[in-house]
Amino acid sequence: MSKKWAKYFAIPMVAAMLIAGCSNGNKNNTETPAPGGTEEVAPGTEGKPATWIADRKMKGLVFMGTDDYTEDMNPEIKAKIKEQTGIEFEIEIMKAERSIDGLIAGIAANDLPDFVVFYLNNSGRPEMPVVLKAAREGMFTDLTPLIKDTKVYSKYLQDDYLPLDTKYGVMFRPEFNGSSYFVHMNINRQGGYISNKFVGGPYIRKDIAESLGIDPRTIHTSDQVYELAKKIKAGGFKDSNGSPVIPIGPSFWGGKDGGAAFKDLQWGGDDQRIKRSKDGKILHEAETEYPMKKVEFFHKMLNEKLLHPEYFTMDESRATEGALNGTWAIIGDAHNYQEFNQDMHYLPLGPIDTVDGPAKMEVDFKSGYSAWAIPATTKKPEDIVKFADYLASKEGKLIWNYGLEGRDYTLGADGFPLVKQEVMDLKEKDPNEAKKLGFKGVGNAWGDLLGSTDLDHMADFGEMQYGDKMKKEENQGAKKISEYWSFDEKFKNAKIVDGYVPTAFLGEFDRAADLKAALDGYNETLIRAYYGKSIEEAKKMLDSSLKQLKAAGLDDYLKLLADKDADPKTHVKLSDGN
């Protein structure tokens, strides 16, 4: 990259990965027309596949964690896509301690490649103000006219396709008068659709639960978790190294506040802390009794050594190691699709109640995750949009999810892919070697960046997850855990919700910087309060934090939320559903 770019980054980029892809850029469906059809042939594409775009290189920069995406592509897949499209697609993954820091520096450099990709699960993410400022300053291409004639992305223009936050908060913001500068990704094709039967939350070692004669599904409150932890401590259980277990360890991914094991002490979502009370008021957690309830509870847990002392702060590598070794009798947060637990030696606990009572599943109408944008300096931005549209089509998804027909899969009589057994075996025995085959099913998720949207894996490929139809009995843990947890029954009675997260409107609040700092300060104060010398000291800390929130405009922001929630276009999610 240029010297101008390099001066903004003293840290190295990961190696570029080359892939290619395309789109025919026509009509709103997900099927690619067969060669020899009646479509008009564009000048210069005679004799080329119907999926041809252009003979060009395309470069992108990804401001996301290096653990999320792999750095290399399989040569055979690259060759196949090049043959179909004529495009060499190169990405670089920005390696930084925090991805948002790289995004800020990259935009400041004003020397961006053909497109950029960044985290954005909702308009309340910290990345939103950064990219909004760039869009307002004319740094990004208006994508609305470019997606109008695409097959898949044109669905984004339909009235009932996008969730509220994606439509009015991320893409087609009223201030842009119909223009859009970011494409929100990972939108499900159907409202209320689930891409997997996800069972997240605390998990307990099965052997320990059985030894204590406890059905983990009967544990629903923090008090029950506390009593269970005491029994575990008294049981003298060991981990795989012969060391005493810790009754409750952090989440599989590292320490965090509260967590799924104590949801009945958590006011609102972990990252929001704003919800509606039973009498209809919208409150921040700091205005309720729950901070002190948590302080008293966690003081007790820590003093009795029932909770790992770094439960709130442990780094991911150590937290994961503890889970793999069985050191945590209860993992604070995990889920059923993790490879280490496909033999079900850990079972889900609960579900844990919320502050409003028994847990009830809530499912988003639709929701997004990650986004991409095209800098205003990009030549022929329509090529990038066509390429993204191809990757989002059924044909494109087949390549980046399943690899190459004949090599990685065959087609069944129903037209759906059947993963080859040797690929499944390789993935199980040597995941790193399997990843070299170069597609998402084996852990190489390059196609997610521009193609992961309009999602319905079951409709497109005949199975909910890659290789489900071919998995051996011992590798069906995710399915068995969902059955054990009665997922289907809970989903049948789930509430479908659509709306904005409570912090989504900070960008239009006139004291946003002050309030954001105070909100972050409260989160940090809460952790310190858990480790405070006394309950009295903790209360003083939290009282001071609430005063700072009030001084920073919390009351005015909550009034703004009430006004927003009254508008159907800006409904706010203010419940405590799971």
Predicted pLDDT at 484: 96
> Which residues, other chains included, contact 423 with Cβ-Cβ below 8 Å and sequence gap of 6+?
403, 408, 409, 434, 437, 441, 442, 467
Check whether residue 169 and residue 307 sit in a common domain.
Answer: no
Is the residue at 490 inside a domain? no
Closest to 447 in 3D by CA, of 415, 404, 403: 403
Closest to 290 in 3D by CA, of 505, 520, 546: 546
* 8, 87, 495 from 50: Cα distances, Å: 41, 14, 43
Which of 310, 335, 356 marks a domain boundary? 356
Predicted pLDDT at 89: 86
Distance CA 88, CA 79 (A): 9
Q: Which residue intervals of 285-358 are DSSP H helices?
A: 290-303, 316-324
Check whether residue 295 and residue 381 sit in a common domain.
Answer: no
Is the residue at 456 inside a domain? no
Check whether residue 42 and residue 177 sit in a common domain.
Answer: yes
- At residue 397, the 3 state secondary structure works out as helix
Check whether residue 215 and residue 86 sit in a common domain.
Answer: no
- The CATH number that applies at residue 333 is 3.40.190.10
Closest to 89 in 3D by CA, of 56, 118, 65: 56
Is the residue at 551 inside a domain? yes
Check whether residue 318 and residue 217 sit in a common domain.
Answer: yes
Query: Is residue 309 within 8 Å of 445, Cβ to Cβ?
Result: no
Place of tokens 């129903």: 414
AA letter at 53: I
Bridge partner list, 249: 331
Place of tokens 């892809």: 21
Check whether residue 188 and residue 206 sit in a common domain.
Answer: no
Closest to 225 in 3D by CA, of 285, 291, 283, 311: 311
Distance CA 310, CA 44 (A): 62
Closest to 189 in 3D by CA, of 161, 167, 166: 161
Is the residue at 385 inside a domain? yes
> Which residues, other chains included, contact 9 with Cβ-Cβ below 8 Å and sequence gap of 6+?
94, 96, 102, 105
Q: How far is CA 149 from the centre of its chain?
A: 29
Is the residue at 386 inside a domain? yes
Predicted pLDDT at 57: 92
Check whether residue 71 and residue 117 sit in a common domain.
Answer: yes
> Which residues, other chains included, contact 284 with Cβ-Cβ below 8 Å and sequence gap of 6+?
267, 273, 274, 522, 549, 554, 558
* pLDDT digit string, tens, across residues 113-135: 999 999 999 998 889 999 999 99
- At residue 440, the 3 state secondary structure works out as helix
Is the residue at 578 inside a domain? no
The range of the structural domain enclosing residue 548 comes to 502-570
Is the residue at 54 inside a domain? yes
DSSP string, 508-534: GSTTHHHHHHHHHHHHHHHHHHHT-SS
Check whether residue 249 and residue 325 sit in a common domain.
Answer: yes
Task: Please list the ranges in the chain whose pLDDT falls under 50.
Answer: 1-39, 578
Q: What is the DSSP letter of 333?
A: E
Neighbours of 2 (CB within 10 A): 8
Q: How far is CA 561 from the centre of its chain?
A: 24
Query: Is residue 282 within 8 Å of 562, Cβ to Cβ?
Result: yes
Predicted pLDDT at 33: 40
Distance CA 531, CA 443 (A): 39
Burial of 36 per CB tally in 10 Å (0-12, 13-18, 19+): exposed
Check whether residue 161 and residue 226 sit in a common domain.
Answer: no
Distance CA 553, CA 564 (A): 17
Check whether residue 331 and residue 398 sit in a common domain.
Answer: no
Which of 301, 332, 356 marks a domain boundary? 356
**H helix or E strand, kind and range, residue 396:** helix 394-402
Check whether residue 103 and residue 207 sit in a common domain.
Answer: no
Check whether residue 250 and residue 189 sit in a common domain.
Answer: no
> Which residues, other chains included, contact 356 with Cβ-Cβ below 8 Å and sequence gap of 6+?
278, 575, 576
The domain tally of the chain equals 3
Query: Is residue 82 within 8 Å of 21, Cβ to Cβ?
Result: no
Predicted pLDDT at 268: 85
In degrees rounded to 5, what are phi and psi of residue 137? -90, 10
The tally of CA atoms less than 13 A away on the side-chain side of residue 153 is 32
Burial of 206 per CB tally in 10 Å (0-12, 13-18, 19+): middle
Is the backbone peptide bond immediately before 351 cis, with ω within 30 degrees of 0? Answer: yes
Parallel, antiparallel or unpaired: strands 200-205 and 328-335 = antiparallel
Distance CA 159, CA 395 (A): 26
Residues 494, 495, 497, 501: what is their CA dihedral angle, to the nearest 10 degrees? -80
Task: At 533, list the tokens.
Answer: 């010398």
Distance CA 515, CA 1 (A): 38
* 125, 145, 170, 284, 440 from 164: Cα distances, Å: 15, 21, 9, 23, 29
Is the residue at 462 inside a domain? no
Parallel, antiparallel or unpaired: strands 495-497 and 362-364 = parallel
The pTM of this model reads: 0.77
Predicted pLDDT at 73: 80
Radius of gyration of the chain (CA): 25
* pLDDT digit string, tens, across residues 254-305: 998 867 899 999 998 766 899 999 999 999 999 999 999 999 999 999 999 9
Distance CA 552, CA 477 (A): 48
Which of 322, 356, 390 marks a domain boundary? 356
Q: Which residue intervals of 187-313 are DSSP H helices?
A: 206-212, 222-234, 290-303
Place of tokens 């307990």: 204
